[in-house]
């Protein structure tokens, strides 16, 4: 694949020359970001950065949530350009073949998109959560199958290791996750989808506690065909119920790990989704992520921020629908008038555009809440719920606007229509999001 303006780790190449000058005259932003010039505080269980202690009395310098820093804008633009140049030509082919091209995956690593928040000392891009979400959004405008690979890898696995991994695990996996190793998040099972803690996968400790034996089957596991490592949740002590759930980093080449056939899905076909069987898999105790029995807490915390990533994907899908439909509406003429100029049509796309903007504001507000250590669980559920609804509406309407050609594979509108549906299902169904929102609202009024 041609690289054009891109080179090894595009993000670091773009950002590095600007760091020294901005240290001397930094903008008056009011958020804390994980950028090379704004190191974050250490974390325990929380996935959020501690509060900025600067004076918040002067509101004049507070930036809108959709006004991004120079670094964030450069990352967004780099992702947009790369996706259009290097991914778009292969979108239909990858969808038909139900497989992401290896050179696309390699390109994600080469340009720094797979190590967005991994610190530079581990080979990552050292960016912040907002930047990661912007990359997911831009990739989704072209191919949501590629974006979900990036989203799961960055917001779930990479961050789980950064937050709770031992130094040994960080040194072992973070450099590879930033440069050449795809990860997979192995949680769901046949009997534990929404009820994730009803999992049957076991992790039996050895007599001396030096290793565990994993047995069980995970279902609907994204990235599983390409994964070099699995973040696996298994119960090390069923007598403790969910408090026995423990997280393990499992090398995909470990004996007893078997990845099944790719599921035949409605959408996101190029994203591998497979069953994964763990048959007497021996995992050393040093490969336990965090503490034994705290896996359920890690899972809850990491999925909360993962939902913001899914919202970013859904916004990208909605914008991708506009990218397909609006040029057509501005070009096609009926009864001597461009379709875009009919008032009935104007009202429809104006409404959808308004809803996309609302979802965007909600999503990047949730990003800033997370980055500043402000509780964001309710907002994360809200943005995932709402963005998935907006994406479905935008995808459906865009096909209507395009007419007959929108119903064919000549354009990508029908693919966006298929791809968006899972947004109301994975990483917490819409009903679960509503439950979470309602719970938080009741807490506010007690």
Residues annotated as part of the active site: 427
**Radius of gyration for the chain, computed over Cα atoms and rounded to the nearest angstrom:** 22
- CA distances (Å), 50 to each of 53, 131, 299, 342, 371, in order? 9, 18, 20, 51, 8
**Tokens in use for 37?**
């010039």
Is 304:391 a contact under the CB 8 Å cutoff?
no
Query: Residue 205, exposed/middle/buried by CB under 10 A (0-12, 13-18, 19+)?
Result: middle
**Tokens in use for 46?**
């929380």
| CA dist., res. 117 & res. 125, Å (int) | 6
Which is it for the CA torsion 361, 364, 366, 369, positive or negative? negative
Q: Left (φ > 0), alpha (ψ -120 to 50) or beta: where does 62 sit?
A: beta
Question: Kind and range of the H or E element at 273?
Answer: strand 273-284
Which is it for the CA torsion 366, 371, 373, 377, positive or negative? positive
User: ∠ at Cα 424 (416, 73), nearest 5°?
Assistant: 60
């Amino acid at each position: 694949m041609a690289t054009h303006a891109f080179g090894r780790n595009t993000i670091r190449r773009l950002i590095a020359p600007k760091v020294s000058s901005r240290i001397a005259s930094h903008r008056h932003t009011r958020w804390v970001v994980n950028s090379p010039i704004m190191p974050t505080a250490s974390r325990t269980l929380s996935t959020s950065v501690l509060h900025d202690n600067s004076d918040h009395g002067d509101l004049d310098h507070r930036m809108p949530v959709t006004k991004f820093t120079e670094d964030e804008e450069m990352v967004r633009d780099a992702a947009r350009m790369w996706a259009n140049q290097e991914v778009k030509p292969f979108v239909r082919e990858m969808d038909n073949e139900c497989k992401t091209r290896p050179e696309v995956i390699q390109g994600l690593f080469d340009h720094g998109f797979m190590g967005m928040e991994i610190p530079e000392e581990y080979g990552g891009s050292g960016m912040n959560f907002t930047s990661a979400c912007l990359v997911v959004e831009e990739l989704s405008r072209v191919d949501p199958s590629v974006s979900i690979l990036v989203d799961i890898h960055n917001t779930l696995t990479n961050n789980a290791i950064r937050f709770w991994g031992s130094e040994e695990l960080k040194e072992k996996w973070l450099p590879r996750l930033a440069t050449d190793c795809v990860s997979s998040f192995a949680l769901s099972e046949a009997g534990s989808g929404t009820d994730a803690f009803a999992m049957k996968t076991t992790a039996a400790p050895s007599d001396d506690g030096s290793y565990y034996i994993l047995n069980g089957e995970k279902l609907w596991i994204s990235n599983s065909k390409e994964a070099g490592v699995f973040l696996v949740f298994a119960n090390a002590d069923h007598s403790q119920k969910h408090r026995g759930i423990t997280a393990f980093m499992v090398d995909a080449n470990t004996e007893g790990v078997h990845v099944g056939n790719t599921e035949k899905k409605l959408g996101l076909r190029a994203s591998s989704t497979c069953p994964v069987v763990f048959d007497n898999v021996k995992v050393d105790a040093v490969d336990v992520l965090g503490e034994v029995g705290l896996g359920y807490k890690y899972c809850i915390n990491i999925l909360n921020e993962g939902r913001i990533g899914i919202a970013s994907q859904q916004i990208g899908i909605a914008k991708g629908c506009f990218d397909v439909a609006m040029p057509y509406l501005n070009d096609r003429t009926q009864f001597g008038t461009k379709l875009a100029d009919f008032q009935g049509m104007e009202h429809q796309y104006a409404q959808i555009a308004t809803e996309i903007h609302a979802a965007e504001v909600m999503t990047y507000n949730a990003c800033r809440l997370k980055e500043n250590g402000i509780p964001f669980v309710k907002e994360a559920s809200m943005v995932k719920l709402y963005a998935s609804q907006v994406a479905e509406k935008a995808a459906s309407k865009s096909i209507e606007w395009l007419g007959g050609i929108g119903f064919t594979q000549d354009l990508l509108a029908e693919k966006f229509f298929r791809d968006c549906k899972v947004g109301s299902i994975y990483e917490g169904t819409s009903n679960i999001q509503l439950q979470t929102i309602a719970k938080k609202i009741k807490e506010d009024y007690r």
